[in-house]
């Protein structure tokens, strides 16, 4: 029996594409929400979860950084998907005949120039793959959707225009999550992800960050968010280059612990080459 990987969205979503790229031998399991995808891993319905965390054009995916430390799961890999926006329509439709395109507002916003050039009406949809499915069910040659090439294959739609996005480097980063951690792997470039909460003392964050600078550890991400709606309780998510067993990383984390109430490592994994 093939192993399974859960993702948020419908079949044909960009998260589905990430599953195909990263774990082609796994069976993708679509889930309605990020929480559902994580629950599928916790319950054993799926061995892995594919979670979108940030986009190069639109920034971080809202609420995900709240969910990561609460999930009880561990990050074991990352993958990047180049978000190509394609115009999908029923078989036999022509580009000149399209009157309206539907998709999520984020994707509609990424193809403004194409929409304006072709004088298309737009319809905001809850999910890109769901928009493609709706167009397939309608069978109207004047209706189209912005979605992935995978969605075109799944819903038997023609691709009338490929790669119509305005930003040619638009990319989404995903994290692969598992019930069990895997800190044993070593690669030329490793990433360590962790969350921490600083102590309530003056300049605590400044002092906590100092250990990374003095030990030559590069911090590639630092996200802050409130805990339980409390304005005075701020938690941070961070990515650093290196492995916790590296001498400089170990020293930096030791210094961090002195100025924090809590430090929890969420994952240690090889850096994806597409990170650059």
| Nearest CA-CA partner of 171 in 67, 31, 21 | 21
CA angle centred on 64, ends 197 and 35, rounded to 5°: 115
Q: Are strands 230-241 and 219-227 parallel, antiparallel or unpaired?
A: antiparallel
Average confidence (pLDDT) over 50-56: 90
pLDDT at position 274 is: 84
pLDDT grade for 60, boundaries at 50, 70 and 90: confident
Burial 124-136 (b: 16+ CB within 10 A, else e): ebebbbbbbbbbb
pLDDT at 167 > cutoff 90: no
160: three-class secondary structure by DSSP: strand
pLDDT at position 134 is: 97
pLDDT at 1 > cutoff 80: no
Radius of gyration for the alpha carbons in the chain, expressed in angstroms and rounded: 21
pLDDT at position 131 is: 96
Q: Is 172 a catalytic residue?
A: yes
Structure tokens at 162: 């490929």
- pLDDT tens for 120-140 read 999 999 889 999 999 999 999
pLDDT grade for 211, boundaries at 50, 70 and 90: very high
pLDDT at 199 > cutoff 70: yes
Structure tokens at 116: 């304006």
- Burial group, residue 81, by CB count within 10 angstroms (0-12, 13-18, 19+): buried
| Nearest CA-CA partner of 236 in 267, 201, 264 | 264
The domains of the chain, with CATH numbers, are 4-82+170-178 (3.40.190.10), 86-161 (3.40.190.10), 190-275 (3.30.70.260)
Sign of CA dihedral 100, 102, 105, 109: negative
CA–CA separation, 127 and 130 (whole Å): 5
pTM (whole model) above 0.85: yes
pLDDT at 69 > cutoff 90: no
pLDDT at 187 > cutoff 70: yes
pLDDT grade for 230, boundaries at 50, 70 and 90: low
- Burial group, residue 197, by CB count within 10 angstroms (0-12, 13-18, 19+): middle
pLDDT at position 228 is: 65
Catalytic residue from among 174, 194, 212, 259: 174
Instruction: Give the Cβ contact number of residue 184 at 10 Å.
Output: 6
| Nearest CA-CA partner of 215 in 258, 254, 265, 249 | 249
Structure tokens at 33: 């929400």
Question: What average pLDDT does the structure give for the chain?
Answer: 92
The winner for highest mean pLDDT among 64-68, 99-103, 257-261 is 99-103
Q: Is 27 a catalytic residue?
A: no
Residue 61: alpha-carbon gap to chain centroid: 7
Catalytic residue from among 26, 79, 172, 260: 172
pLDDT at position 82 is: 92
Average confidence (pLDDT) over 192-216: 89
Location of structure tokens 């074991």: 76
More confident residue, 204 or 49: 49
């Amino acid at each position: 029996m093939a192993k399974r990987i859960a993702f948020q969205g419908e079949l044909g979503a960009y998260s589905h594409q990430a599953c195909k790229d990263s774990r082609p031998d796994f069976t993708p399991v679509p889930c309605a929400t990020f929480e559902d995808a994580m629950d599928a891993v916790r319950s054993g319905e799926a061995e892995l979860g594919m979670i979108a965390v940030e986009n190069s054009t639109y920034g971080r995916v809202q609420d995900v950084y709240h969910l990561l430390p609460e999930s009880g799961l561990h990050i074991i890999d990352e993958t990047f998907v180049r978000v190509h926006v394609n115009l999908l329509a029923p078989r036999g439709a022509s580009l000149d005949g399209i009157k309206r395109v539907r998709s999520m507002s984020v994707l509609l916003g990424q193809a403004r120039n194409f929409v304006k050039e072709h004088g298309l009406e737009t319809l905001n949809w809850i999910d890109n793959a769901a928009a493609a499915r709706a167009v397939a069910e309608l069978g109207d040659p004047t209706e189209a959707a912005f979605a992935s090439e995978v969605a075109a294959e799944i819903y038997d739609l023609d691709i009338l225009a490929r790669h119509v996005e305005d930003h040619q480097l638009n990319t989404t980063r995903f994290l692969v999550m598992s019930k069990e951690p895997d800190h044993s792997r070593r690669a030329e470039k490793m990433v360590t992800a962790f969350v921490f909460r600083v102590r309530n003392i003056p300049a605590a964050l400044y002092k906590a960050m100092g250990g990374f600078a003095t030990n030559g550890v590069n911090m590639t991400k630092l996200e802050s968010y409130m805990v339980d709606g409390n304005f005075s309780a701020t938690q941070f998510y961070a990515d650093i280059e290196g492995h916790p067993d590296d001498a400089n990383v170990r020293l930096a984390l030791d210094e961090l612990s002195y100025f924090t109430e809590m430090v929890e490592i969420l994952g240690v994994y090889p850096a994806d080459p597409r990170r650059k």
